[in-house]
Amino acid sequence: MEVLLRLAKGESRKGISEQLGISVLTYDEHRKNIKQKLRLRTQADWASAIVLFRNSGSITVKKKIDK
C-alpha cells in the first residue's frame, strides 16, 4: 500500500525504494504484485488506477510551486 501511495504522489521508483529502505528490484516486485491484485494489464490500466486512487481522497498531493 505504501508503494501505491507514494506512486500516486508522483514519487520516483528510485526515491520510493530509498525511502522505504528496499532495493529497486523489491520495489518492482511490490508494483508487480499490486498490478496483479488489481488485475491491471496495461500501462493505461495502471495509470488510470493511480489517478483514481489519487482522486479518491485517500491521499493529499502537494504540488511544487516554482517561484
Cα(43)–Cα(22) distance, rounded to whole angstroms?
23
Residue 61: its pLDDT value, please?
46
Cα(1)–Cα(38) distance, rounded to whole angstroms?
12
Residue 39: its pLDDT value, please?
92
Fold of 2-55: Arc Repressor Mutant, subunit A (1.10.10)
Residue 23: its pLDDT value, please?
96
Positive or negative torsion for Cα 52, 56, 60, 62: positive
C-alpha cell at position 59: 491521499
Residue 65: its pLDDT value, please?
46
Q: How many residues does this entry show for the chain? A: 67
Residue 8: its pLDDT value, please?
82
Per-residue pLDDT in tens (0 to 9) along the chain, 67 residues = 788 888 888 899 999 999 999 999 999 999 899 889 989 999 898 888 888 888 876 555 454 444 4
